[in-house]
Amino acid sequence: MLLEQFEQLQDGLKFGELTAYWKFLDSVGCSRTTGWRWRKNRWIETVPIGGRPYVRREAIDRFLARAQAGEFAKVPCRQTEVVV
């Protein structure tokens, strides 16, 4: 889902070597809170410039490849039984 959204929006946006992290999050439809969590868990690597986070193009590609591979998927904590 995330990769599909980004690929659709990527045609209209031209990302250079460095992109503002918030601009990247807006392009994939994620909130700043989600972006903060990704950075906290070190799922995506950002570069601080002037107190603002930027992301490199190769970091975006690496993150999207890992997400598509299911690396960030969680296993459910408990199984619920379906009563028929």
pLDDT bucket at 49, cuts 50 / 70 / 90: very high
Cα angle 62-66-69, degrees, rounded to a multiple of 5: 140
Judge: domain 2-68, CATH 3.30.980.
no
Cα angle 24-63-58, degrees, rounded to a multiple of 5: 75
Residue spans of the domains in the chain: they are 2-68
Residues 6+ apart with CB under 8 A from 13: 23, 27
CA distance linking residue 8 with residue 11, whole number of Å: 6
Lowest-pLDDT range, 7-11, 14-18, 41-45, 74-78? 7-11
Is residue 26 exposed (0-12), middle (13-18) or buried (19+ Cβ within 10 Å)? middle
Model-level pTM?
A: 0.67
